[in-house]
Every structure is written in structure tokens, then in C-alpha cells.
Amino acid sequence: MKILATVFIVVFSCLHSFADQKWSQGVVVLTSGEVKVGLLQYHPKWNAVSFKKEEKELAVQTFPANKLSQFSFFDDHIEVWRRFYTYISNKRGFNQPVFYEVVIKGDFSLLRKEKPIEPMYQDGASSASSINERMIWEQVAGFDFFLSHNSNIVPLGSFKKYIKEEGLFEELDNFADIHRLSWRESYDIVMMINYLNCSSGSGGCQEDLELTRLASSN
């Protein structure tokens, strides 16, 4: 129950600002395999992570997505560890490494990515002022959710179409009918993804779907 509730806290938590640039306890794993433990800031708009070993340290390293394989930090706003992995995205027509937050990890992984708010600028504002405003007012407007499967990253809105293409629709649709799940509800799609992981035995399986449903309604 506790694990299931945590999953839904992470998926459907209230939005909060990254603007205060608070340093959080965390871990980064470089593509070389090197592991660094210390304090970090995650910058979703810039797809980058800043890192330093301790609070008083002045030297700060900034890592773009192509330098990290994964990172995690403790979010004291929702009191959970948040995990991010680098995936290859082809959203703009070419392959590029991008950070995605992993909510459920398995053969069928549930990912999410922030949608930053673009600050509004006044005509004639100085570049220094604009940069300062960007740092102060950058916020998260919401999240886009994705399914990761077989190196494919699929928007959750295309989940049903993808499942049909993979030949899994009939089985999953029967499961949805039994549990009265909707293909349009995010909560229900999460339970379908959980079912796929349980069926495949790949890990990432959270048992007792009714408890998951109850946790999602709080």
C-alpha cells in the first residue's frame, strides 16, 4: 500500500516551482559509470543538472543529458526520491539525449517530463534583467506522460494505439473491462501499465490494483 501510494504521489503530485534553485541531496551517475554523491539542482528547461559535493563548496559542475546516464534527488516537497534516466528522444526529428523522470520502471515504464512556463518579458528589458527574470520565474506548468517500451517513447495519449500495434490490445482490454478501467483516464492507464509489468514478470510490478485505485483517488 505504501509503495502504491508513493507511485501516485509522484505521478499526480501538486506542481511546484523550481525557481528557488534549492540544492537537494542527490546522486548523479555519469556515462562513464562514475557515481557522485552530494547536492544537486535539476533544471528541466535546460535539460541539465548542477552538482556540488557539499553546501559550502563554491565549485559547481553542470552536466547536460549526454553526460549523465541517470540521477536522483530527494524532493522534500513530496518527501520522495525522484529518479531520472537519460533516454534518446526523436521528438524534433533527430536523436538527442533527454532526461525523463521514471515513475514505474519495468518492460513497460511510465515516464513523465516537465512542461516549464515561459516567463513573459517587457519590450526594452535589458538582457541582464531578462536573464534574472528567467531564473526567478521559471516554473513547472505541468507534466507530459509517456510509455517507454522496446526503446520506444510513446505519449500516454497514444497508449491505446501503441498497444494495438504491439498486439496486446485484446488481453489488456479484457483486463480493463474486468476492473472497469478507462483508456482515457491517466489513473487507469497507470494500472494497465502495472498489469503489463506483472504479466511479463519484468519487475516494476505493484500488486493489488484495487489499492492502487484507492490511492489514486485521495
Average pLDDT, the chain: 80
Query: Is the pLDDT at 10 greater than 70, yes or no?
Result: no
Q: How far apart are CA 146 and CA 112, in angstroms?
A: 6
Query: Is the pLDDT at 171 greater than 80, yes or no?
Result: yes
| Residue environment code for 119-144, b if the CB has 16+ CB neighbours within 10 A, otherwise e | eeeeeeeeeeeeeeeeeeebbbeebe
Query: Is the pLDDT at 125 greater than 50, yes or no?
Result: no
The predicted structure's pLDDT at residue 140: 52
32-71 pLDDT, tens digit each: 999 999 999 999 989 999 999 998 888 999 999 999 999 9
Burial class (CB in 10 A: 0-12, 13-18, 19+), 104: buried
Q: How far apart are CA 74 and CA 65, in angstroms?
A: 19
Residues in the chain: 218
| Residue environment code for 169-189, b if the CB has 16+ CB neighbours within 10 A, otherwise e | beebbebbeeeebeeeeebbb
Query: Is the pLDDT at 121 greater than 70, yes or no?
Result: no
Give the start-to-end residue ranges of the domains of the chain: 2-157
The predicted structure's pLDDT at residue 208: 54
Contact between 38 and 26 under an 8 Å Cβ cutoff? The reply is: yes
Q: pLDDT above 90 covers what percent of the chain? A: 52
The predicted structure's pLDDT at residue 9: 46
Q: How far apart are CA 49 and CA 71, in angstroms?
A: 9
The predicted structure's pLDDT at residue 116: 66
Mean pLDDT, rounded, for 82-109? 90
Contact between 195 and 209 under an 8 Å Cβ cutoff? The reply is: yes
Query: Is the pLDDT at 126 greater than 50, yes or no?
Result: no
Nearest to 68 by CA among 97, 109, 102: 97
